[in-house]
Amino acid sequence: MVHINRNELPKEDLHALFSQFDTLLNKLDRGATSTLLNELLGREERITLAKRLAVVILLNEGMSGYKTAKVLKLSPTTTGRIAEDVRKGTYKKTIEILQKNKRSYLAILDTIDSILHLGGILPHRHGLERYRSLNHYSH
């Protein structure tokens, strides 16, 4: 669990820090970004981000919140909160960014599929081919 200090910075200062962090990340190449995030984020923070991304993707692909929670070993409350945010459009830009690079999006789906398959949770169903029929992958 991530510990957040109760003594928050003023909103203006937080905004300035976030802006500088965004600028820094935008200027880094892939290897440097990976190194920076791996060094700055603890194991739990990386797990949280990876699972949140997986939830957004699985919900976007039509998996139920209940099944998503079960396969990713998350509480239904956590998954439900993210599902509500997906419905509200909170992750709309994230999904658009991911789907712009279809190869990367399919690679993420394949990784999730492999995790679920290797964990015995779901059988493989034609591998990545099952995603190609979705509207956003049509040729």
Least confident span in 6-10, 66-70, 131-135 = 131-135
pLDDT at 36 over 80: yes
Residues 119, 123, 128: CA angle, nearest 5 degrees: 105
pTM of the model as a whole: 0.70
pLDDT-above-70 percentage for the chain: 79
Question: In this predicted structure, what is the pLDDT of residue 114?
Answer: 77
Burial of 37 (0-12, 13-18, 19+ CB in 10 A): middle
Task: Return the structure tokens found at 97.
Answer: 């960014």
More confident: 21 or 123: 21
Query: What is d(CA 89, CA 121) in angstroms, rounded to the nearest whole number?
Result: 29
Calculate Rg over the CA atoms of the chain: 17
* Residue indicated by tokens 């003023």: 10
pLDDT at 129 over 60: no
Task: Return the structure tokens found at 70.
Answer: 């079960």
Helix (H, G, I), strand (E, B) or coil at 10: coil
- Give the mean pLDDT of 104-121: 71
Q: DSSP alpha helices (H): ranges in 28-91?
A: 30-40, 43-60, 65-72, 76-88
> What is the per-residue pLDDT across 54-111, written as a single tens digit (0 to 9) for each?
899 889 888 899 988 988 889 999 999 999 999 999 999 999 988 888 788 888 878 8
Question: In this predicted structure, what is the pLDDT of residue 134?
Answer: 46
Average pLDDT of every residue of the chain: 81
pLDDT at 20 over 90: yes
